[in-house]
Chain A
Amino acid sequence: MTHNAVVVGGNRTPFAKAGGPFAQASNHDLLTAALDGLVARFGLAGERIGEVAAGAVLKHPKDFNLTREAVLSSALSPATPACDLQQACGTGLETTIYIANKIRLGQIESGIAGGVDSTSDAPITVSDPLRRTLLKANSARSAMDRIKPFASVRPSHLKPQAPSVTEPRTGLSMGEHQALTTERWGISREEQDELAAASHHHLAAAWDDGFFDDLVTPYLRVAGDAILRADTSVEKLAKLRPAFGGEHGTMTAGNSTALSDGAATALLASEEWAAAHHMPVLAKVVDAEVAAVDHPGGDDLLLGPVAAAGRMLERQGLTLDDFDLIEIHEAFASTVLTTLKAWDDEDYCRGLGLDGKLGTIDRARLNVTGSSLAVGHPFAATGARIVPTLAKLLHQRGAGSKGLISMCAAGGQGVVAILEAV
């Protein structure tokens, strides 16, 4: 027996720059804040939800049960189970897919998908050689055996290790990878700055319209997205120095996402549960797909979503023209631009095993309330930010409106999904 999994709504904290107003808040604090706001908005206090799935990319070992612990701190019934799930920057969308699938299969009737990241409270660990030494000493049986391993410790081993967003197999940061892609696909500085400026302007307009009033709850004196620069312009962005790709690079701090802190949640349910609880119903989750590219073999790291979208559209018999709205996660402005170019590239798409190119889109349908460049990108939270945002936008356009979400993730992965207003 299958059901429709529908998006009821969402709640997130405002997003802010790392080291900013949420510097003292842990992943637990942020995720609990997002859950608290969701509980308040939909009257879920004391409610047993089928399951809560969330995750964080930068996670402390002590947070092995991060989501369950946040549930226990929230006003949800303590009988609400939870799991941690992580797929790099795709986490918040992957948790949505996980919850939606369980609802569709009738295993649960309601669920919360979420994600959180605090780059301010990132775990610092010891170096690998020191860690191995400590483990060896810990398992030693005699006092002498316990001391012996420390003879091999070198001063360099004592340096604390901050997490980095470097690909383990290539040694390149995400920005460095994307700089190669930007160059290869011939994406200009101007196009990137235009997309970044549009993201800020769209987000600012949406805040001015009150669009986020039922999607965001203020936290720690922050009422709105703190990274947003409503007054930025292509001219201002053009003055920034390159951050990736060397001195002639086109990627800057302005057209790349900032390290951010924040948490987001989405409430999903079966249509039956939503009706029984007198909940609004915004959009159903139609389909989803994940894909990956061989970036250690030289593929473009952040173009994983192209194959994912192509396979999902073929399966659904849909084309890009069928979508009223398209959300492409703005890891970098050039990620969005290369994704659009790749969708329209016959050879590239056939190389992925697709029947042909996906085609072009009307840019007026893209990221209409801004995206990660302006909002910020707390890695695992972004997917759970996009899902309720898009669901609300589709609902405003009327039943049957379709939306496509495309997210790139570390490890050459891509996560995509289709929502349709009900």
Chain B
Amino acid sequence: MSVPPAAGAADRPVQHLDAMPGMAAAFARALAPSRRDEARLPRHAVQVSGYRQDPARLAEYSRVCGFTLRDHVPPTWLHVLTFPLHVHVLGDRSSTVRLAGAVHVSNSMTLHRPVGVQESLDIAVHAQNLRPHRRGALVDLVGTITVAGDVVWEGVSTYLASGMSTPGEPEEAERPPWEPLVPHATWRLPGDLGRRYRRVSHDPNPIHTSRIAAKAFGFARPIIHGMWTHARALAALENRLPASYRVHVDFLKPILLPGPVGFASTAREHAIDATVTSRDGSRPLLRLQVTEAP
């Protein structure tokens, strides 16, 4: 479980941007290996105010991820809107952690109330909670979306910066026990899914679209973006989601494209558990849990 978001600490300086920054240049920069191995984070938050959502892009996002196009947007869509600011924060000179090459290990978000496609959003992101991990350093990127001063959505994306160090002893991560299951759905992920998701997420990371880039990072084929899998799993639960909720995912294994995966979900009294598995249900690839909003 990750740390609950501490929305913009009062003493945190805020850098206001006029518009959502592009990501291509930041990614190119980030591909150059960092010479520093001690992880350091910028202290400031970045914010874009009055962001207008693009209904046509939302429609395409919904089609790619399996959501029905509604007036109220999926929380994973709101994450996608914060993502350029993740890249921007870590692209700062004061940061030694680079997003490209970092591994997205878990994600938590809270939808405090339904958010309409017509609403104008104030989007802020900062990095915090640098902590050691046995394979590097973990960092949380915290996104906060407010509408007219009310926090409507919060997200915490936890990334592992492999090989980087930060003082302290790594926490022993406890993995919940795994029992193989019988999937009750098979999703056949097509080869162009990475490209289709890139069009709606605007995330230029070539590991999702290029075989060569994927090989460079040690994968035989491109891997689908974890946030697509997250969104697809949430879309499979769309008729059971309450008006406000918290959703947590652990990204356990990359999913290679093209290929089939399994899916299973269980509704409990105050929670829904869902798992994306290997096709036969023997290995977990992503675990998701929906709970009531705190």
Whether A36 lies near B70 (C-beta < 8 A) is yes
B69 touches A73 (CB 8 A): no
Contact of B68 among A28, A76, A220 (CB under 8 A): A28
Min CB distance, A31 to chain B, in Å? Answer: 9
**Contact of A221 with B68 in the complex, beta carbons under 8 Å:** no
B292: Cβ under 8 A from any A Cβ = no
Residue of B nearest to A77 (CB): B239
In the complex formed, the residue of B with least CB distance to A72 is B239
CA distance A74 to B239 in the complex (A): 5
In the complex, how many angstroms separate the beta carbon of A20 from the nearest chain B beta carbon? 12
**CB pair A219 B59 closer than 8 Å:** no
Q: In whole angstroms, how far apart are the Cα atoms of A36 and B114 in the complex?
A: 14
* B239 adjacent to A220 (CB under 8 Å): no
Give the interface residue-count category, chain A: 10 to 19
Q: Closest CB-CB distance, B26 to chain A, in whole Å?
A: 29
A25 close to B117 (CB less than 8 A): no
Interface centre among B63, B68, B117, B238 (most CB of A within 10 A): B68
Chain A contacts with B in 197-231, Cβ cutoff 8 A: 218-221
Q: A72-B239, A73-B239, A75-B239 are in contact. Are A220 and B71 (CB under 8 A)?
A: yes
Given contacts A220-B55, A221-B117, A221-B118, contact A26 B69 (CB under 8 A): yes
A220 to B119, CA, bound (A): 11
A-side contacts of B60, CB under 8 Å: 24
Q: Chain A contacts of B62 at CB under 8 A? A: 29
A residues less than 8 Å from B118 (CB atoms): 221
| Size of B's binding interface in residues, CB under 8 A | 14
Give the chain B neighbours of A26 by CB distance below 8 A: 63, 69
Cβ contact of B238, chosen from A25, A73, A220, cutoff 8 A: A73
Task: Decide if B56 is an interface residue (CB 8 Å cutoff).
Answer: yes
Q: Are A218 and B55 in contact (CB under 8 A)?
A: no
Q: For A218, give the chain B residue with the smallest CB separation.
A: B71
Given the complex of chains A and B, what is the CA–CA distance between A52 and B69 in angstroms? 20
A78 touches B239 (CB 8 A): yes
- A32 is an interface residue with CB less than 8 A from chain B: yes
Produce 1/0 per residue, A73-113, CB < 8 A to B. 11110100000000000000000000000000000000000
B61 to chain A, nearest CB (A): 10
A416, CB-defined interface residue at 8 Å: no
CB neighbours (8 Å) of A36 from chain B are 70
| Distance A421 CA – B62 CA, assembled complex (angstroms) | 42
- Docked complex Cα distance between A78 and B55 (Å): 28
* Distance, CA A29 to CA B118, complexed state (A): 17
B71 touches A33 (CB 8 A): yes
B239 touches A25 (CB 8 A): no
A24 touches B71 (CB 8 A): no
Max chain A CB contacts within 10 Å: which of B62, B69, B238?
B69
Q: Which residues of B contact A218 (CB under 8 A)?
A: 71
21 A–B contacts, CB within 8 A, in A order:
A24-B56, A24-B69, A26-B63, A28-B68, A29-B59, A29-B62, A29-B68, A29-B70, A32-B70, A33-B68, A33-B70, A72-B239, A73-B239, A75-B239, A76-B239, A220-B69, A220-B71, A220-B117, A221-B55, A221-B117, A221-B118
